[in-house]
Amino acid sequence: MKKKKYRDQAGLFIAEGPKVINELIAEGLQLHSIFAIDDSVGVKNATVITQTELQKISCLTTANSCLAVFKIPKKELTEDSGLIVALDAVRDPGNLGTIIRLCDWFGVAQLICSMDTADCYNPKVIQATMGSIARVEIQYVDLVSYLKDAKCPIFGGVMDGTNVYTQKLPENAIMVLGNEANGISEAVQNVLTHRISIPQFGKNKATESLNVATATAILLSECKRSTGR
Per DSSP, 72 falls in state P
Per DSSP, 119 falls in state P
229 pLDDT band (50/70/90 cuts)? low
In 3D, which of 210, 88, 76, 229 has the Cα closest to residue 155? 88
77 pLDDT band (50/70/90 cuts)? low
pLDDT (tens digit per residue) in 107-119 = 999 999 999 999 9
CA distance 157 to 90: 13
Percent of the chain past pLDDT 70, that is, above it, reads: 97
pTM assigned to the model: 0.94
Residue range(s) of every CATH 3.30.1330.30 domain in the chain: 4-71
**Class of the domain covering 83-227:** alpha beta
In 3D, which of 165, 118, 113 has the Cα closest to residue 137? 113
Residue range(s) of every CATH 3.40.1280.10 domain in the chain: 83-227
pLDDT (tens digit per residue) in 7-25 = 999 999 999 999 999 999 9
Percent of the chain past pLDDT 90, that is, above it, reads: 85
Return the CATH number of the domain spanning residue range 4-71.
Answer: 3.30.1330.30
pLDDT the model gives residue 185: 97
